[in-house]
Amino acid sequence: MEENLKIPQHVSIIMDGNGRWATSHGKPRLFGHKEGAESLRACMQFAVEMQIKYLSIFAFSTENWGRPEEEIQGLWSLLLESINKETSYMIENHVRFRVVGNLEELPEYLRIAIHDAEEATAACTGSVLVVMLNYSGKWDIVQAANRFAEENPGKKMEWADMDRYLATAGIPDPDLLIRTSGEERISNYMLWQTAYTEFYFTDCLWPDFRKPEFRLALEAYSRRKRRFGKL
């Protein structure tokens, strides 16, 4: 590991550009998602190599339900295939698998596969792969506030309370957020948790984002000085 490269504890990625990548290659959108799964595999391996403790990915937002049903079902099938394919790798490389989001709306077969993979990797103590699925920042804040109110009637919520009631409780806030495809927004993603996150935007479409592009993001992060509102 390079001495001048600062390694974030938590890197989060908004994986964008699968559809545009597929269109540019004359392929259907689902082909882009399949190629994007290969990028995720490469990035997970790189995170393990670089000893990044947390790698989180924005896999499916609550707004994504507005996409064609065929594409959504294709995404579920692809996710199921990836979980079944990668669980053995995660166990061998001590990667813990976690899924965060409103899972009640997902197909039962997918919820079972997620539960089984989480259980199989629960004892892993290396990197943690966090998949944000059927997730949005606004949903997370609202569900946290509602749960707090139910469990603490009449009590005023403090900042620390919010951290404990968010769906990401126990996961440190991202140090670095990467978004691919040239878009420069966070699209309702971890709104509370990214208050002091460093953002890195790249024109690279997600299916083309592999280890060299990941390293460029880490190099950019290493050149920044994080002040957290201080001098």
pTM value > 0.75: yes
Q: Specify which residues 198 forms β-bridges with.
A: 176
The residues annotated with a catalytic role in the active site are: 16, 64
Q: In the block, which residue shows the tokens 């590991």?
A: 1
User: CA distances (Å), 112 to each of 91, 97, 187, in order?
Assistant: 18, 14, 28
pLDDT-based confidence at 15, cuts 50/70/90? Answer: very high
Report how far Cα 218 is from the mean position of its chain's Cα atoms.
Answer: 16
Question: What's the pLDDT at 2?
Answer: 58
Is the pLDDT at 231 greater than 80? The verdict is no
98-119 tens-digit pLDDT: 999 999 999 999 999 999 999 9
pLDDT-based confidence at 143, cuts 50/70/90? Answer: very high
Averaged pLDDT for residues 36-48: 97
Average pLDDT of the chain is 96
Q: Please, are residues 22 and 184 in contact by the beta-carbon 8 Å criterion?
A: no
Mean pLDDT is lowest, of 156-160, 202-206, 214-218, for 156-160
Angle (CA) 158-177-72 rounded to 5° is: 95
pLDDT-based confidence at 230, cuts 50/70/90? Answer: confident
